[in-house]
A = this chain, B = another copy of it.
């Protein structure tokens, strides 16, 4: 089922709910406790204009790194739920905002993305965020089904 095929409000769809859960899990000080799910997702939504204003010089700041991790952990969790496999997430960023986002199970990489300008990690709209998350999840689940043996090596 894709975002457009469900009757749920967008924020209630599985991928966005999982990313909200991941970000709340990082919130050891309880700052987000009174925040709505929409407010928690908001920093991941960046217009082209907003992205352009973020410098790509130097390190990716820790809060952005946590958001990138939350995005890929959400995918990993949905893949685990749909396949029963345990997934690991490795985010590797150089000091210039380049790097890799990897989700793997056993010897199988179910997600393998190069990151570029990670300082500007974000999506134009909540719809695009949900659609990208779903697309990556679905292709990961498909790979895990096709090459299950490699995930179980």
Contacts and interface: CB of A to CB of B under 8 A. Distances in A.
Interface string A12-49: 00000000000000000000000000000000000000
A113 to B, nearest CB: 12
Complex copy number for this chain? 2
A91 B100 CA distance: 10
Interface stretch (A1-9, A71-79, A103-111, A124-132): A103-111
Size band of the A side of the interface? 10 to 19
Main secondary structure of the interface of A (DSSP, over half): strand
A102 B150 CA distance: 15
Contact of A92 (B90, B106, B108, B147): B90
Interface of A: 88, 90-92, 100, 102, 104, 106-110, 112, 143, 147, 150, 153
